[in-house]
Structure 1
Amino acid sequence: MKRGVIILLTVLLLAAFATAQDQYHLTLLAVQETDDGLVGSSADLYLELIPGNGRVFLDTFPATKVDTQFSTRFAKEIACKHFKLDCNRYDFIYTIKSDTSIIGGPSAGAAMAALTTIAVSDLDYTEEIAITGTINSGAIIGPVGGVKQKIEAAAGNNLKKVLIAKGTAKVPPKDNETEGLDLIAYGKDNLSIDVEEVLTLDEVVFQLTGEELNNKPFSLEENPQYQAIMKGLQEALCQRTGEIEADSFGVNLNNDTIKTIAKRKASMENSTSQGDYYSAASFCFANNIQLKREFYQHKQLSPEAMLNIINGLSKKVDLTEEKVRQEKIETISDLQALMVVQERLHDVRQQVKTFTEDNLTKEEQYNLLAYAEERFYSALAWMQFFNMDGARIVVDDDLLKISCQQKISEAEERYQYASLFLSQFQVGHLNDKNDEARAALNHNETALCLIIASQAKADANAILSSFGLTNETEQDLFNSKKEAAGRIIFENSQQGVFPILGYSYYQYAQALQTDELPTSLVYLEYALEMSDFSIYFPEEMTTASRIGEFILQKEIMLLLEGFALGVLITLVLVFMKKKK
């Protein structure tokens, strides 16, 4: 009997602590191919949260494409990061049920991200609205195909509204048509359903819940110390431009080269006048490479002379790397300075290797030599940031290794995802960067690994975000990415963590916006990726905070133990009373 009492008490105790898990639901919209063309259909998306550590599980009926598995993880990751949700407390069980095998992964991404946000935040929401679109970095909603058919499917399922990606409401005319189709008017006039364009996950969540989770206004304020150091870096690189020009006196430049250099100088002066010293430095850096290349071509250096320069450069890199190894990494600024300096020195080493091992033309040798020299000088200039203050962090080799491995994993997932839609020729460079990051990790160059893997992830995000992009939506995408990056920079700055790399790329993207909008979008991806490194490194705790945390943990444990004991005693008394 005692054994029976124990078993019963155990079951009852577990039942007392168990919480019924709510199941969250949204309708998914999809298309399938038939003999008559595309036909819209629907499916059900469910999400259940259980206690865990952030793992993602996907169950589908029937089985779906591999891309659904990737997009599910991306959707959860983006929602958790964008809204700063405490997702590590749960495991996420997503279930997709459909009558036919029609659901492809990317178009369900926005719905998955929205449902993740709703579930973790436990928000009230309507199930009468559907969203079809991808989810991209910066929580941007991307376009998908078959939108007209999906709207028809939504109307057939008695939904009230369909949210579609910005720029997809106007369907261009087909070859035999004179006018295109306005999907907003089509939905209202023909199907009695509202259709609305959205650009961000914030808009989707607001439509579903009426809640504005990221509605706090923010204003970026540049870190004065960053400003002073970057100004010094800009002055060093731009002064070097003058020195190279003086050395190149008498070199005949063609008209195109003269115009290009003059345009960069004008851009440099404009950026400097606005206090955008990183962009100004970048314009000078580009001019330095071009002027140095023209100088070498004019001099017609012998192979021996060029080899002497390359060997001398290699020795300088050795000495600089030894000096960098002596730097103490105590702040996020230190870490990012280490990353950017090591990345530039690594780049120089790669150029040296190419010069000595590959069979290059003389023109290619001049180009490589000029680039390698200026890249090395840039590394020296960036070392000034080792003197910048910032919030102290706990960084050691093991922590950096874990961070690097995580970044490689994130970058690898995005590469595999992009590979589902693009050829190896188009995305092979992403895999090359991942291989570089792994090689750095194997050589215990963890900070170098971290920046290369971050670049690979940002490059992949730029590619994925460009799917379906048109001239009409490019500017909207830029504005949304800019706001997302700006918000991350602001939030980190408020915590005493100024992201020098992220902010630099953020400024440079704006400097390129007018003349090179596609390139500026890539730099915004870099800004997004490199503005929030604090999530990988906990701030160094003071003794007082450690004591406070210990006391709080003890109080919580005592409270839970007392509650559990109270429940157990109550159950025993009830059981014994019934026995009497």
Structure 2
Amino acid sequence: MSPSRTLKKHVILLIALILMFLAPTALNAICLEDSAHEVTLPIPAVAQSGKESFGVISYLTVRVVPGSGHVYIETWPLAEVDMQASARIAAHIAFEIANKYKDLGSFDSWDYLYSVRSNSPIMGGPSAGAAMTIATIGALLEIKPKPGIIITGMINPDGTIGAVGGILEKIDAAASINATTFLLPYGQLYVNKTVMEKYTIGPFIYYKTKTVTVNVRKYALEKYGIKVHEVLTIYDALKYFYESLPVSDTISHIDMYRSALTFHYVNSFLKNSSILALNHTQEYLNTTLSKMDALSRIFYRDDIEKAQYLIQKARELINDKLYYSALSLLFQANTTITYMYNMMEYSTQGDRYIEDLTKELNNTIDFLKSILVRSNLTDGMIAAQIRVIDAVDSLEKAGEYYKEGDIYNAIRELSYAEERLKTAFLWINFSGSLFSSDSIRDSFDDELSFATLLYAYIYSMYGSHYADQVLRYLELSEKAYAMKFYGGAYLYALEARAHAESFLDILGISSSDLLNKIAYVRYETMREINISLNNKSIIPLLALAYFEYSYYFENKENDLELAFVFTKLAKSWITAYMKFGTATYGNITLNNITLHTSKENSSSNESNGGSIGESSGDRLEIRAIIVAIVMFAIFLLTVYLMRRD
């Protein structure tokens, strides 16, 4: 064999070996590149220069790749408010929806990469949440969104689109890229705008500011030719962006949802507890009054009248079968009576009484801690945990007041703590579902992060006055977590989120639109409550209690804001029951309830699941076979060359 022929054979052999080593790497590269699904959407944002705010267009790119459930986000320039929590919620909701159309495995089978680019520093915050969800659904399903559509709105964990600010500025920004359709959260068709008005007095010119209401739909159409549509949930938005998806919207069924405003659930535990509490409170008041002389009755007249009013109001609520609401009023009555009792004891015993009472309450807290830090918790124990945290918080306040010499407020806080601990023992007696502390703890960070995001957004846009209540619940949540009260920490995080979402959702909204939002959330809550009762044999007491409380504030107090807060809490808790809860025992009756459920989006989506695109798993398998065949051919060629003379 000639030297040139031998050299040629060695070169071919070397190339073959290199190809064999590189083939698996090539396969991985092909798989990664092909499985990296990407969607880019323009999103409107608000930038600020000095005191002036203006709209800008940012570009959101979502890329999903095979991974392990991580969510990454980068913004350039850096946003003033972190968007990580919005991205995580968007990823989870998008996967849940997309998985109904195509089998995607599990959420943890993918990594979710979000990139937001802008030419101006933006406020950031939750207003890109809806767009993130829309883009992620497209990336997971490998379909492209229809061009010319802009959406603004935060994505709530229940799939509703939350209200945002800067609507007019964002429409101005949408016009700069020739958008034809603008989607905004339900109830924000009218926004208030501050304008400068010029007027003259004699030779002098003056300016004054005034607030005017702007019709957003008219503003966008007449100024830019942009059509504006409201979206209540992410499903309403999907039908605009992805016309090929079979989607059943929600906004067209508002009249059906309003049927959910007319009733509530009745629970035997709450019924029996409220009746016992009513009798106890009346007897407690009578006993306390019997210890008062005429002068004391004059001194405590306002407190006596308050307690009597609350007891009578609770009696009426019990007659109306609003048992949780009655318990809440009776708690307030008992706190008032205990305050009077403790003040009378202090008047005879002095500071020694406060010291002894504080010691007794701390001992009770220590005892409750010993039985409430557990690996498995009932929902009654979770309710007890937040009452213990409330008591701890009040004890700290009492100490501060006492140090300042403010005896009256110190005793008020001690009285509140005392009654709060009594109700903790009441709730421990109930068990409608069992929760794993570890599971709740693992989900706590997401809840706290999103609530913190909303707090930061409200603080940056509207100031500390409006954000303080949300901050209080965040602080209580962290305090509960530090005590290893993971259920209580989770519940406080839910309360922080509910108050924040409600604050944003009611800005500039009409009572009618707000009532429709309440109706939708209540309707969806009822649907899940019925599933938990019928399919999981769980009695979701905390969800039932908040559901009733929302009914109370809507129908008895005419307070739609608090009705919305407790509606959202009920929805959050029924979701927690469905996610974490396992059956224990309990009983429930329904109060004249007939629930008419509509066909779920998921059923129609699943029936069409195989019609969208070719499975990426199938394509990867085909490529793997092709590469394997090539490798085998190289192997045969190598053997042939080595044996050939």
Common fold by TM > 0.5: yes
Kindly state the Cα deviation for residue 256 of structure 1 after the two structures are TM-superposed. 6.2
How far off its partner does 1:43 sit?
3.7
User: Do residues 182 (structure 1) and 229 (structure 2) align?
Assistant: no
Partner residue in 2 for 1:27: 42
Matching residue's letter, 1:361: D
Instruction: Give the letter aligned to residue 42 of structure 1.
Output: I
Identify unmatched segments of 5+ residues in structure 1. Answer: 541-558
Higher mean displacement: 436-445 or 191-200: 436-445
Give the secondary structure class of the aligned counterpart of 2:36.
Answer: coil
SS at match of 2:28: helix
Alignment of 1:31-42 (within 5 A): 40-42=55-57
| Inter-partner Cα distance in structure 2 for 1:78 and 1:466 | 26
Q: Give the direction of change, closer, same or farther, for the CA distance of 1:471–1:175 in structure 2 (3 Å limit).
A: farther
Deviation at 1:508, TM superposition (A): 0.9
Structure with max Cα Rg: 2
Separation (CA, whole Å) in 2 of partners of 1:435 and 1:26: 36
Quick check: 1:519 aligned with 2:555?
no
Instruction: Point out which structure has higher relative CO (alpha carbons under 8 A, 6+ apart).
Output: 2
Over the matched positions of the two proteins, sequence identity in percent amounts to 19
Query: In the TM superposition, what whole-angstrom CA distance separates every residue of 1:362-392 from its partner, at most 9, and x where no partner exists?
Result: 3224423432232122112112213x4x4x6
Corresponding residue SS for 2:59 = strand
Structure 2 match to 1:382: 427
Structure 2 vs 1, CA of residues 454 and 467 (structure 1 numbering), >3 Å: closer, same or farther?
same
Matched to 2:267, the amino acid is Q
The reply on whether 1:65 has 2:108 as its aligned counterpart is: no
C-alpha contact 2:98 2:137 (8 A) present in aligned 1: no
Number of residue pairs the alignment of both structures matches: 550
Residue 116 of structure 2 corresponds to 96
Does 2:415 correspond to 1:363? no
Whole-angstrom distance in 1 between the partners of 2:88 and 2:501: 11
Residue equivalent to 2:326: 280
Normalised by the size of structure 2, how large is the TM-score? 0.70
Give CA deviations for 1:266-323 in whole Å, capped at 9, x if unaligned.
Answer: 6534543443321221122122222333454567453244544444444444455555
State the 1:457 CA deviation.
Answer: 4.5
Over the aligned positions, Cα root-mean-square deviation in angstroms equals 4.5
Could you tell me how far 1:4 is from its partner in structure 2? 1.4
**Alpha-carbon distance change, 444 to 576 in structure 1, aligned in 2, over 3 angstroms:** same
- Contact map agreement 2:73 2:84 (CA 8 A) in 1: no
Distance, in Å, in 2 between the alignment partners of 1:320 and 1:99 is: 55
Residue 278 of structure 2, aligned match among 234, 238, 256: 238
Q: CA deviation at 1:461?
A: 4.3
Is the CA contact (8 Å cut-off) linking 1:83 and 1:213 kept in structure 2? no
- Please state whether the residue corresponding to 2:574 is helix, strand or coil: coil
Q: CA 1:31–1:231 in 2, change beyond 3 Å: closer, same or farther?
A: closer
Q: Which runs of 5+ in 2 are unaligned?
A: 1-13, 100-105, 198-209, 584-617, 641-645
- Are residues 1:228 and 2:268 paired? yes
Contact 1:109 1:135 in 2 (8 A): yes
For the structure 1 residues 535 and 574, does the alpha-carbon distance in structure 2 shift closer, same or farther, using more than 3 Å as the test? farther
Tell me the CA shift for residue 517 of structure 1.
Answer: 2.9
| Aligned equivalent of 1:555 | none
Distance in structure 1 (CA, Å) of the matches to 2:439 and 2:211: 61
Among residues 225, 228, 247, which one is paired with 2:287 in the alignment? 247
Alignment partners' CA distance in 1, 2:53 and 2:458: 24
User: Take 1:289 and 1:528, find their aligned partners in 2: how far apart are those partners?
Assistant: 29
Q: Are the aligned partners of 2:83 and 2:124 in contact in 1 as well (CA < 8 Å)?
A: no
Question: Which residue number corresponds to residue 595 of structure 2?
Answer: none
SS at match of 1:53: coil
> Helix, strand or coil for the counterpart of 1:275?
coil
**8 Å CA contact retained: 1:71, 1:109:** no
Task: Verify the 8 A CA contact 2:98 2:141 in the aligned structure 1.
Answer: no
Q: How big is each residue's C-alpha offset from its partner over 1:311-337, in whole Å with a ceiling of 9 and x where there is no partner?
A: 444444445555556x883xxxx4322
1:570 is aligned, of 606, 625, 629, to 629
Which residue does the alignment assign to 2:550?
509
Give the corresponding residue for 1:544: none
Tell me, yes or no, if the aligned pair for 2:304 and 2:337 is still in contact at 8 Å: no
The question of whether the paired residues in 2 share the 8 Å contact of 1:87 and 1:120 is answered with: no
Question: Secondary structure in 1 aligned to 2:83?
Answer: helix
| Residues 1:490 and 1:213: Cα distance change in structure 2 (over 3 Å) | farther
Query: Shift of residue 574 of structure 1?
Result: 4.3
**Structure 1 Cα separation of the partners of residues 269 and 67 of structure 2:** 44
**CA separation of 1:95 and 1:316: change in aligned 2, threshold 3 A:** closer
Q: 2:77·2:120 contact (CA, 8 Å) conserved in 1?
A: no
Q: 36, 42, 46: which is aligned to 2:61?
A: 46
Aligned equivalents of 1:189, 1:431: Cα separation in 2: 41
Give the partner amino acid of 2:77. A
- Match for 1:116 among 136, 140, 146? 136
- The structure 2 residue matched to 1:56, chosen from 67, 71, 76, is 71
Using a 3 Å threshold, how does the CA distance of structure 1 residues 78 and 406 change in structure 2: closer, same or farther? closer
